Amino acid sequence: MHQLNISAAAEGDVNPLVPNGWEMLVVFVGFAILFFIVVKYVVPMFEKTFAERAEAIEGGIAKAEKAQAEASAALEEYKQQLTDARTEANRIREEARAEGAQILADLKEKAAAESARITAQAHAQIESERQAAVVSLRAEVGTLATTLAGRIVGESLDDDARAARVVDRFLADLESQNAGAAK
């Protein structure tokens, strides 16, 4: 029991709840020094490492996520471009087809117009030649007939006005006969 007695002697007879002022001071100062070191060095150093580590990990993840996002964006862009290109190709094809049809129609129309024009020209030429032939024939036939008739009748039919009237009447008779024959 003597150890306990030594302890009790060291404690004295004081109530254990009554503190020793010097001990309190030492604990206070010791704790203050420790707290200062912790605030000044320990916590900042550990926090710095934690932050760096978190950044290293999160940075890697963020980088990977960014690469992923970029890749999918590129893919999306390529898909979009492909779709655009397809649409464009279709559009061009449609346009070409429409244009071809248009050109064909134009050409047809032009050809038709040309042929019509040529036909009309030919008609006109034929008509004018026929007219010219009729005129020249009328004059020649009139002269020939007059001469012939004059010779036959022996009568001078030089009087132009009369001769013309006779020729006209003759021709009119001829035409009416022709018309009747044609009918």
- Nearest CB to another protein, comparing residues 12 and 154: 12
Residue 150 and residue 133 in contact, taking contact as beta carbons nearer than 8 Å = no
* CA-closest candidate to residue 135, choices 171, 176, 174: 171
- As measured in angstroms, the least distance from the Cβ of 90 to another protein is 56
Residue 148 and residue 173 in contact, taking contact as beta carbons nearer than 8 Å = no
- As measured in angstroms, the least distance from the Cβ of 20 to another protein is 5
Measured distance CA(72)–CA(60) in Å, rounded: 18
Interaction site with another protein (CB under 8 A) = 1-4, 6-7, 10, 12, 16-24, 26-28, 30-31, 33-35, 37-39, 41-43, 45-50, 52-53, 56
- As measured in angstroms, the least distance from the Cβ of 65 to another protein is 20
- Nearest CB to another protein, comparing residues 19 and 100: 19
- Nearest CB to another protein, comparing residues 50 and 78: 50
- As measured in angstroms, the least distance from the Cβ of 57 to another protein is 9
- Nearest CB to another protein, comparing residues 31 and 78: 31
Taken in order 10, 14, 17, 19, the sign of the CA dihedral is negative
Q: What angle in degrees, to the nearest 10, is found between the helix axes of 43-153 and 160-182?
A: 120
